[in-house]
Amino acid sequence: MKHFFALVLFLIINQTIEAQLFRKEKVTYDANQGNGSTDYNLLRWGYFLGINNYDFNFDYNNDLRDIYVKRSPGFSVGLIGNLRINDYLDLRLEPGLLITTRELYYSQTYFQGNAVTEADLTREVKSTYIHVPLLLKVSTKRINNFKPFIVGGVSTALNLSSNENNPNDNANGQFRTTKNNLFYELGFGIDFYLYNFKFTPSIRGLFGINDELVRDNDPRSPWTSNINSMKSRGVFVNFTFQ
C-alpha cells in the first residue's frame, strides 16, 4: 500500500512539474471545456486517499511510568463535498473510513509487584472510524497553477471497533474505548491544477476532545485506574482528487 501511494504521488508530481513548472502554462480549469469543475462552482465534489498515524495522549492520576504507545500507519479513504463561500474561503465536509491500530505497553509498576505475563503488559487497540469532519479552508490567491491553503475545523467519529458495550474488560483481555468521539483538526496543503482535475496533497493534525477510555469494572484495575483521561491524536497525509 505504501508503494502504491508513493507511485501515485510520483506520477502526479512529475506531470505537475512538466506541465506547470517548466512550461509555466496556466491551466484553464473550466467545466464548460469538459476538463473538470471550475473553482467558481458553488458546490464541488471529489474523493481522497490517505495514510493516518494515530497516537494516544494520557493524563495520569499518579506518577507512574508512562504507558508506551506503539503506532502503526493506517489507511484512509473518503468523499469530499466543497461549498464555495468566496475566492478564499470554502466549507468542506469530508466523510471517510479510517482504519488504524495502536499497541499499549504497560510497566510492571502498574501491577504493584504482582506476577504478570507478557500478555498482561500489552493491549492492542484496533480502531475503525467513520470519520466526519466539517472544515473551513482558507486559501491564498492562486499563483500560476498552485494555491496554498490552511484548513481547520471540528470532527466526529464513530468507532466501530470500540467494544464500549462489551461486558468483558481487561480482566478478560478486552481493552474498551468509547464509540462516539469528538476532535478538532488543523492542517495545510497545496492545490495543484492539472489538465483534467485538481490534485491536493495535505497534512492535517487531529486532537481528541473527549476522554475515550471505558474503565474496567474493578476500580483498582491496573490497566485503567491510573488513567485520568485518554484522548486520540493523529496525523493525516491525504491525497485529494477533484
Non-local (6+) Cβ contacts of 149 within 8 A are 137, 138, 139, 140, 188, 189, 190, 191
How open is the CA angle 93-94-99, to the nearest 5 degrees?
A: 150
Tally the domains of the chain. Answer: 1
What separation in angstroms does the CA of 44 have from each of 49, 81, 211? 17, 6, 35
154: domain range? 2-241
Residue 139's identity, in one-letter code, is: S
Residues above pLDDT 70, as percent of the chain: 84
CATH for 220:
2.40.160.20
Neighbour-count burial of 220, counting CB atoms closer than 10 A to its CB (0-12 exposed, 13-18 middle, 19+ buried): exposed
pLDDT reading at 27 higher than 80:
no
φ/ψ (deg, to 5) at 170: -65, -25
Q: Which residues of 48-75 are buried (b: 16+ CB within 10 A; e: fewer)?
A: bbbbbbbbbebeeeeeeeebebebeebe
The one-letter amino acid code at 23 reads R
Q: Is the pLDDT of residue 12 over 60?
A: no
More reliable by pLDDT, 241 or 23: 241
Q: pLDDT (tens digit, 9 = 90+) per residue, 101-133?
A: 999 999 998 988 778 888 999 999 999 999 999
CA atoms within 13 A on the CB side of 132: 7
pLDDT digits (tens, 9 = 90+) for 199-218: 999 999 999 999 999 999 99
